[in-house]
Structures are given as structure tokens and as C-alpha cells.
Copies of this chain bind each other. A is one copy, B any other.
């Protein structure tokens, strides 16, 4: 017979979610939670995670832990990355895709009740949702387990930004004093906005933004970033690309952001990264990045160029960053190894 009251897990912290070097039990909702010290700490762990994954080492950091992957919007790439990250560290996952089509959610259950249900089953929820702010909402509803935002609509996708920053860091050994070229739909590109915000956290960075006139960075964000110290130059032709960039960050013009499909067709291939372009405006030390998927804006001939890091390094780094975050947030990896 039971003579004790039910003991629930320890409720998580509800303080303002700046990380400040303390990841344990923390919701990871936005890149804005990160400061240079937290990023440095995360990146140090990430190096170690890469070693585990590359060598198929048996790791038990997350033994006994279960993460729920709650994806209201399927994303094989991001889901696969988080799923693998958890399992690389010996953890387990519960995968739930499109809950809105089924059962409880379809029957009219509130989002809060769904979150409260799944938090009972696991130690951490990784949420993908089409609506901006959904991750914040989930973090409020979850009483015990942390939420990691795996993309909320056109809002945030902090692990994507972190993997991009890590890829620059990995090749350039620092995130200060860098010069970069960013190309594509700079108006709507979520990954671009996050990367710019990330770069603005460090000193003395400069970016050149190359886009069609219609897809330039929106003024309020440009002004905000400039105030934070990021030097921004807008250019409109390839001939204006400076030769001494540390990185090029190419992106896809996203069909789904256009109401006028004719305009999309006109703009989608405004700029294409080719061996010739790299030859003409690149340098030997730079790297060429892309958040993927690509649909023609980087020529496949470039793939074998050692400076092309989008297929090999960025994808892998995404998994390593997620491994590091999971280990830190679940308190299973000490902040200093």
C-alpha cells in the first residue's frame, strides 16, 4: 500500500531565460538568450561531441533520458538531426509528427494540455511548430521539463544559427573581426536574421548583404544590428563582393514567402555560386556556407571544392551542437569538460 504522496519532479526555473553559462533545465527558445560566454562554453562541448559521433563511440551521457520530438510541421532534416543527436549520446526519443491531425489535438485539446501530457513522459521536449511564439507558449505550459525550439514558423530556429556560427568558429577559430558575404532573400531569410544577430554579439564584424532590391534587409532590423556594432554594407552586384571575406553564406530564395509566383521565378536564381564566381571573387582561406536545402543556387560543381562546407561540415555541426545542448540542458555533461 502507498502511504506517501506522489512526488513530482522538481519544477524548472521560471526566471528570465538568459543562459549566462548555466544551461541546466533551461528552455532554449531564442538566440537572444546567448551571450559570448555561453556560446564559447557550448562550442567547447561541441568539439567533444564531434569526436563521439565521428568515431561511433558508445556514449552514455543521456542514458535513462527520453526526449520528445513534437513536430507540428514535419522537417525530416531537423527531426533527423535531433533524433540522431539524442541517440548518439545514448538517449531515447518519442517521435510525434503532426499531432494536430490526430487524436487528442484533433479533438480540440489545447496546446497547453498537449505539452503537459508529453512532459509527463520525458525529460525534454523538442518542439517544431508553424506559429511564431509557439516555443515560448510551450515553455510556459511545461512545468517540469525544458523546451528546445526547433523552429517556430518565421520566428526563431536557434540551433540553426548556432551551427552556422560554430561552422565559422571551427574554421576561423574566433567569431570576432570577421568579414562575411550573405546572399539571397535577406528580407525573409530566418537563418540570415539569426546569423546576423549572432555575429552582432561579437566585436568588429562586417557583413556584405547581396540581394535583389526587393529582398533587402528590413530597415528596423538593419538599424538594430548596426547599433549593436555590426558593420553592414548592402551591395547589389557580384562585382562589389570584397575579395577578403572569411565566409560566404548563400541562401535559397524561398518560394513559400512570395505571393506573386512570377516575381519568385524572376528572382530565384538572381545569384548562383559557381566555381567561376569563387575563382573571381573568393580567396583560398574562405568558406562557402549554405543552410540547406538548396535548389540550384549553388552549382553542384562547387561541392568538391574544399571550401564548400555546406554538405559535410554544416550538417554534421548541426548534430554536434544539438548533442552539446541536450547534454548541457539535461545536466548530463558538465559545463567544463
Residues of A within 8 A of B (CB): 1-3, 6-9, 43, 47, 50, 54, 56-59, 63-66, 68, 74-78, 80-81, 83-84, 87-88, 92, 94-96, 99, 101-105, 107-110, 112-114, 116-118, 120-123, 143, 169-170, 173-174, 252, 255, 292-296, 300, 311-313, 315-316, 319
Besides A74-B103, A84-B121, 14 other A-B contacts (C-beta < 8 A): A3-B173, A9-B54, A68-B80, A76-B96, A76-B102, A84-B122, A87-B92, A103-B293, A104-B293, A107-B295, A108-B293, A116-B312, A117-B292, A120-B319
Q: What are 5 A-to-B residue pairs whose CB atoms are below 8 Å?
A: A56-B64, A84-B122, A107-B293, A107-B295, A121-B315
CB distance from A299 to the nearest CB of B (A): 12
CB distance from A85 to the nearest CB of B (A): 8
Q: How far is the CA of A64 from the CA of B96 in the complex (A)?
A: 24
CB distance from A120 to the nearest CB of B (A): 4
Question: Once the chains bind, are B295 and A7 in contact (CB under 8 Å)?
Answer: no
Question: Once the chains bind, are B312 and A77 in contact (CB under 8 Å)?
Answer: no
Contacts of A6 in B (CB 8 A): 50, 170, 312-313, 316
Q: How far is the CA of A16 from the CA of B275 in the complex (A)?
A: 30
Q: How far is the CA of A143 from the CA of B108 in the complex (A)?
A: 39
Q: How far is the CA of A268 from the CA of B159 in the complex (A)?
A: 43
- Top 6 closest pairs, chain A to chain B, by CB: A84-B121, A109-B293, A58-B64, A104-B293, A108-B295, A74-B102
Q: How far is the CA of A96 from the CA of B97 in the complex (A)?
A: 11
Q: How far is the CA of A202 from the CA of B337 in the complex (A)?
A: 56
Question: Once the chains bind, are B84 and A315 in contact (CB under 8 Å)?
Answer: no
Contacts of A43 in B (CB 8 A): 2
A87, closest chain B residue (CB)? B92
Question: Once the chains bind, are A174 and B1 in contact (CB under 8 Å)?
Answer: yes
Contacts of A294 in B (CB 8 A): 109, 113
Question: Once the chains bind, are B94 and A312 in contact (CB under 8 Å)?
Answer: no
Question: Once the chains bind, are B76 and A312 in contact (CB under 8 Å)?
Answer: no
Contacts of A75 in B (CB 8 A): 102-104
CB distance from A6 to the nearest CB of B (A): 5
Interface centre among A76, A104, A112 (most CB of B within 10 A): A76
Question: Once the chains bind, are B104 and A76 in contact (CB under 8 Å)?
Answer: yes
- Known contacts being A80-B96, A118-B80, is A56 close to B65, with CB within 8 Å? yes
Contacts of A312 in B (CB 8 A): 6, 8, 116, 120, 143
